Structure formats: C-alpha cells, structure tokens
Amino acid sequence: MTGLWRGPERTEHLVLPGVLTSEEAAATVAGILAVQREDGAIPWFRGHHLDPWDHTEAAMALDAAGEHDAAARAYAWLAAHQNADGSWYAAYDDGDAERVTDRGRETNFCAYIAVGVWHHYLATGDDAFIDRMWPAVYAAVEFVLGLQQPGGQIGWKREEDGTAVNDALLTGSSSIHQALRCALAIAEQREEPQPDWELAVGALRHAIQRHPERFLDKNRYSMDWYYPILAGAVTGPEAKARIEADWDRFVVPGLGVRCIVPNPWVTGGESCELALALWVMGESDRALEILQSIQHLRAPDGMYWTGYVFEGDRAIWPEELTSWTAGSLLLAVAALGGDEATTAVFGGERLPLGLDPDCC
C-alpha cells in the first residue's frame, strides 16, 4: 500500500459553498497554527489544557490543509511524552508536559494517535515517519487493549494509581474502533501482522452493534447517537435508521447539533462530527447543511466558538475559541471536498475490518 501524497499546495478541497472561502480556510488554518506551541503541542487554546485526542484532531486538520511539518511536530510531541505504559495523561496545562492537571489515562484519548499517524502517512507518503511513530502506536494500542472487557467493549480509563475503570463508554469505544482499524493498517503497511488486534476490533465492533447494555447509558449525549457511524462500526440501513430515529431530538435547524438533551446548547464540534458521519453514510447534502448552519459560531479571526445557548440569554458559551472545534470543521470540509487522506481514514474503505467473534 502506498501513501496518497497530494502536495501541500493543493487545498482547494477546503473551499465549500456557504462554509469556507479560500481566504476563510486560510484564516482558520492560521488560527490553529497560532495555538500550536514551538514544541508541537496544540492545547485547546493558549493558556488552557491539552488533551491527546483533541491535540491529534487539530494535527489531522493541519495535514488536511497541507501543513505537514506542523502536523509532524504535533506527533513528535506525542511520541516524546508518552508514558512508559503506552498511555498519555488526560490533561496537560497549556500543553506543558511538566504540568499535568489530570493524571487519569483515558483509553480513547490514547488510541487516537493511530488515526492521526495513518492520516499523516496517507497525506505525505512519508515511510520514515510511519517507522518512527510505530513504537508509540504499538505501545498505545497495547495499553488500550489491556482494558478490553470479555464482552469486547473497552474500559474507560486507568486512574492515577493504576486502578482500571472497566465501565465502557459507547462514544469512546467507537472512537477506539476506528483507531484499531488504523493501527491495523499501519501494521499491514509495515508487514507486521497483529492477529490479536484483529480479534480485538472484531469483538469491539460486535459489542457496539449488538450489545448496548455493555456500555454506560449516555444516550442524552449526541455523540453516542452518531459516533458508532462516524467510527465505521454501524453502517448501511442500521446507520440510516439510527440517524433518523433521533434527528429531531438532537438537530436544531439553522443552529447546529445539541451536545446533550434537553439542554438548549448547540456545539460546533458535535455538529462537525455529525456532518462527517452523514458524509460517511453518503448523505453529503445533509452534511453540508449542518456545516452551513454553524457558521454563526465563526469568529472574525477564523476560529470557532465552542457553542451557543439558543434559549434564555442566547449567548456564546463558553467564550472559548478551541483548536479542536476549528479542526473538526476543517476535517469535515476536507471529507466533503474529497481530500484523499481524510476520506480514506473516515470512509474506511482501505481500513482492515478485523475478525468477527465466534460467539455473541
């Protein structure tokens, strides 16, 4: 398998009617670059914390925009600050690895490096990069699978003292499903088969598709609604039925997607992720409508506010311009625009499926 290098100059896929002009896309990319520290860390915004998942999401957006050197520095930061057990802490103050503010180690945070590394490889074709990052990806996957439960679901995290929290989150496990498939693609590229990973992703997918009782009940959160589709675990008619069942519950016409019901709060990140899930299903028109509906969250500098309360005070809340919100917007636009690396990672057509379990 070869990379999908397209050259850093080609960013026309980030222009989308009613969402981004070329100038607006450039401003959003510049906004993320302004947040990135010299050491490669990408906190939520300067002065706030970094978490490994959102750091990776922002790095993927930089690759989608052709900023490959900046993205590579973000992955180098992860490799340099990985814990001995293959994990990362849940939060670092302003991306400073010496100032850890949450020493929990969340499995979906740790797994997402595989998605980012595979995306960067597909965007650049850089074999040396994938070889350099393989030890970090391998260690992260082994940490995550150390919390896989007999039913296939992945435990949420390890506490600071090492205690395993075996309760599983549907959104987190779905994200891990995508990450494991990307990790398998990396292993395949390196010709290093990982049969245990193949079994693990098959068991995880089976749990997501057929055993909702194995996950904590978080169905008030929109992420639990769309993430199994976004992560490629639920597809076809089942995906369509899932989206239709709760569309009116979560989507606020003209404003975006609720983070949680019944709260009157739409958020940019969830809206962009839903747009990506719709694109995965082949519903690009509805995806475009969602992205157009959240442009009220765009700030003059090209970044995006986290969310908006649409009842009562009708105000931007919280007053934060987050790198990951801008990143999720760019990735959704890149998918709709046909960026090959982004469509490959989220479309899943080139990702190994793993092995289905023999039992139920």
pLDDT in tens, 190-200: 999 999 999 99
Q: Residue range 349-356: average pLDDT?
A: 90
> Is residue 310 domain-resident?
yes
> What is the count of structural domains for the chain?
1
The span from the CA of 9 to the CA of 12, in Å, is 9
pLDDT value at 1 more than 90:
no
Q: Are 206 and 356 contacting, i.e. CB atoms less than 8 angstroms apart?
A: yes
- pLDDT tens per residue, range 59-108: 999 999 999 999 999 999 999 999 999 999 999 999 998 999 999 999 99
Question: How many CA atoms are closer than 13 Å to the CA of 264, on its beta-carbon side?
Answer: 8
pLDDT at 351 over 50: yes
Please indicate, yes or no, if residue 76 is contained in any of the structural domains: yes
Average pLDDT of the residues in 46-67: 97
Task: Establish if 320 belongs to a structural domain.
Answer: yes
Which residue in the block uniquely carries the two structure tokens 């395993």?
A: 164
Rounded to whole angstroms, the Cα distance separating 151 from 243 reads: 25
11 falls within a domain:
no
Sheet holding 315-316, edge to edge: 251-252, 256-258, 265-267, 307-309, 315-316
- pLDDT > 90 fraction of the chain, expressed in percent and rounded: 93
Full domain range(s) for residue 53: 24-347
Binned at pLDDT 50, 70 and 90, residue 350 comes out as: confident
28 Cβ neighbours under 8 A, 6+ residues apart = 20, 302, 303, 304, 326, 329, 330
State how far the Cα of 104 lies from the Cα of 344, in Å rounded to an integer. Answer: 31
Looking at the domain assignment, is residue 18 inside a domain? no
Per-residue confidence (pLDDT) for residue 260, from 0 to 100:
98
Residue bearing the bigger pLDDT, 3 or 46: 46
| Predicted structure pTM score | 0.96
Please indicate, yes or no, if residue 4 is contained in any of the structural domains.
Answer: no
CA neighbours closer than 13 Å in the CB half-sphere of residue 336: 31
Q: Does 63 fall in a domain?
A: yes
CATH of the domain at 222: 1.50.10.10
- What is the arithmetic mean of pLDDT over 27-44? 97
pLDDT of residue 349: 84
Query: What pLDDT, on a 0 to 100 scale, did the predictor assign at position 37?
Result: 97
DSSP 164-217: EEEEE-HHHHHHHHHHHHHHHHHHHHTT---HHHHHHHHHHHHHHHH-GGGS--
Residue 323 counted as domain residue:
yes
Distance CA 296, CA 115 (A): 29
164 pLDDT more than 50: yes
Helix ranges, 211-235 (H): 222-230
- Rounded CA separation 20/22 (Å): 6
